Amino acid sequence: MQLLRNQPIPMRDGVHLATDIYLPVDAKGPFPVVIERTPYDKSKPSRSEKQLDGHHLSRENMAARFTAQGFVAVFQDCRGRYASEGVFTKYTAEGEDGYDSLAWIIEQPWCNGRIGSMGLSYAAHTQLAMACLHPPGLSSMVLDSGGFANAFQCGIRQGGAFELKQATWAWRQAKESPAALADPLIRHALEQEDIHQWFGRMPWQAGQSPLRHVPEYEAYLLEQWARGSFGPYWQKPGIYAEGHYDQLPDIPVLFMSSWYDAYVSSTLANYAAFSRNNKASQQLIMGPWLHGDRNISHSGNVEFGPRAAFDGQVAENWLSCRLNWFERSLKSPLEQTSTHAGVKVFLMGGGSGAKDRNGRLEHGGRWLESQHWPLPGSQQLSLYLDRQQQLSSKPPTADEAHLSYRVDPASPVPTIGGALTSGAPVFVGGAFDQREHPDFFGTRGDNSPLAERSDVLSFQTEPLKDDLVVAGPLRIELWIESDAPDTDFTAKLVDVYPASADYPQGYAMNITDGIRRCRYRDSWEAPQLLTPGKRVKIVIEPFATCNLFKRGHRLRLDIASSNFPHFDVNPNSGEAEGQAQHPRIACNTLHLSARFASRLVLTVIPSGLLPGFESQPID
């Protein structure tokens, strides 16, 4: 193959983006093109290219496979990153820059007019951003664990709260900024910052953050933090595909994410939109992994078994899967590009529950195949919260029932895993026993159950008499009141294992969670503070999931008012987002009466409707 290194592709504003172009040399062109646009250095291996056998593919390895099959492979540094010119502002320039790059590529003599795109995480965001502008030549995409449907609801903010992975990401990536790479003193200053200490000093302000050494990174982060209402800032193509779905090209797309990824809801929303609006067939793959870790069979401290890996289970390997996808979608006639479609999701659960040799809980699981998501036969199941802190299918009958707790912003409920990414070195995602283990930021470090905290209300079923498959969206409807002008409510779905020889106190495995900032209870555009003492209804929508709650387990719902450092802490004061100077303790109340019934609404699948499903006995 022939390499054209650091080709300067011009953007509409005169900035040039450095682009490596790999051309086939033993075949006659022109050729279809596959592009990846990344902020993580186009000359280095992508973290997404780790195979099951441990081999980490380089860009050259990937390009060799693509060019050998008659594709041109293109890798580009995003604006303001590594060899590319310009100033990096996270997310907002990717639509136009992607469009301009494809407009340049399609005019080259080696391009046959059909372009595919691929990439993990940010390199998936760049794809969907340009797709919203319907760029010339775009004929296929592989969106791996990213692509913003609505960054206000998944990726930057969620339920009105700010996702603090944006802060850790900015601090780490500022060390790779042009300023830090050019000046060792700036990089050294960033490395000397104690990020854990800074997380104890939130909210950050301009000039008073670990990012102050690289002002452009500090500026974009603080702007995202401060923009709490859904307005024009959040409606740009790069971060709001929902507002541009009707402009998307009718092309086949392979969507992939995982139940402990930070982009579950974006992936499912995008898949639904492309499937609904387009004739081209779409494919969806959802594993049990952490963000992009498709060949790691455990998530957090829970093992899903060898069947959980992508390589050898979903396809031969990830690179072959993409090559086959682009063979069909870029080389076949347009009318034949819809020959491969469907849904493949990993159903977590059903394992032994024992501790494996690595000290992880054997939760197990298996792949399910379908043509639809949610799965055919899905039904809704409502479980009501009662004053005895039970979950029951029977609605409450009491005329008046409630539970209250105190919320102290100075002592938030700590994050113990979850569907998140980019939190290192402060926090991590995945499935864990919900305990205040000293490995987690902000815990008491005594290994006590989170459910025993005075600021957590736990509601659970009786031990299940039959297996229960929860597969699809869920929501929590709460009637609440507070003596504060604003506060948060969080909800966490938990699979509670009974006591066993390996786990004498049982094991409370987090499945999915969500949050709602009360000022946004009725409108994302026009927040309204609470009236102290007035009952209102809020809805929390955690990410969808796919889990088998085994017979003998309990299904639990934990209600609290913080999940830090996954989300920023509500000061309960009603002050502007990210600007609080006067945090206060709140008394929050959950109503559980017949008239004001709070409930959990699940999407469930009768076990008999799952293909090849067999109930597994308790070990």
Question: pLDDT digits over 166-201, tens only?
Answer: 999 999 999 999 999 999 999 999 999 999 999 999
Domain co-membership, 570 together with 496: yes
If you average pLDDT over residues 8-29, what whole number do you get? 96
Domain end point (choices 309, 343, 370): 370
Please give the pLDDT value at position 92. Answer: 85
Q: How long a stretch of residues is the chain?
A: 619
Average pLDDT value for residue range 352-365: 98
38 and 121 co-located in one domain:
yes
Residue 334 pLDDT level (bands cut at 50, 70, 90) = low
Question: Quick check: 62 and 34 in contact, CB under 8 A?
Answer: no
Q: Based on the fold, state whether residues 228 and 252 are members of the same structural domain.
A: no
Q: What is the mean pLDDT of residues 400-417?
A: 98
Q: Are 314 and 144 in contact (CB under 8 A)?
A: no
* Same domain assignment for residues 329 and 389: no
Cα→Cα distances 338→21, 113, 277, 334, Å: 29, 19, 14, 8
Say if 614 falls within a structural domain: no
Which of these three, 187, 212, 232, is where a domain ends? 232
Cross-strand pairs, 603: 380
Cα 348 to Cα 156, 281, 303, 351, 417: the distances in Å are 27, 26, 10, 9, 16
275 and 361 fall within a common domain: yes
The answer as to whether 114 is a domain residue is yes
Average pLDDT (390-417) is: 97
**Beta strands 16-23; 72-77: pairing state:** antiparallel
- The reply to whether 190 and 163 lie within a common domain is yes
CA distances from 334 to 130, 140, 254, 303, 420 (A): 21, 11, 16, 42, 37
Co-location of 193 and 263 in the same domain: no
- State residue 339's pLDDT score: 42
Q: Which residue has the tokens 């003492």?
A: 533
Residues 84 and 171 in one domain: no
Instruction: Say yes or no: 147 and 202 in one domain.
Output: no
pLDDT of residue 565 exceeding 50? yes
Return d(Cα 565, Cα 167) in angstroms, integer.
Answer: 10
- Kindly tell me if the per-residue pLDDT of 108 is higher than 90: yes
Task: Answer yes or no: is 126 within a domain.
Answer: yes
Mean pLDDT of all residues in 75-101: 94
Task: Give the pLDDT confidence score for residue 22 in this predicted structure.
Answer: 98
Question: What CATH number is associated with residue 300?
Answer: 3.40.50.1820
Look at 47 and 607; give whichever has higher pLDDT: 47
Residue 414 contacts residue 442 (beta carbons within 8 Å): yes
As a whole number of angstroms, the distance between CA 472 and CA 609 comes to 15
- pLDDT tens-place string over residues 207-257: 999 999 999 999 999 999 999 999 999 999 889 999 999 989 999 999 999
Residue 89 confidence (pLDDT): 84
* Section 107-118 average pLDDT: 98
Average predicted confidence (pLDDT) for the chain? 95
Say which CATH number the domain at 546 has.
2.60.120.260
**612 assigned to some structural domain:** no
| Inside any domain, residue 615 | no
- Residue 613 is assigned to a structural domain of this protein: no
Cβ atoms of 549 and 555 within 8 Å: the answer is yes
- 616 in any annotated domain: no
Q: Are residues 146 and 256 in the same domain?
A: yes
Domain that holds residue 568: 379-606
- How many domains would you assign to the chain? 3
Same domain flag for 322 and 425: no
Q: Is residue 619 part of a domain?
A: no
Q: What is the DSSP string of 186-199?
A: HHHHHHHS-HHHHH
DSSP secondary structure letter of residue 610: S
Domain stop point among 370, 387, 408:
370
201 and 56 together in one domain? no
pLDDT band at residue 618 under the 50/70/90 scheme: very low
> For the residues 446-461, what does the mean pLDDT come to?
98
3-class secondary structure, 362? strand
Single pTM value for the model: 0.95
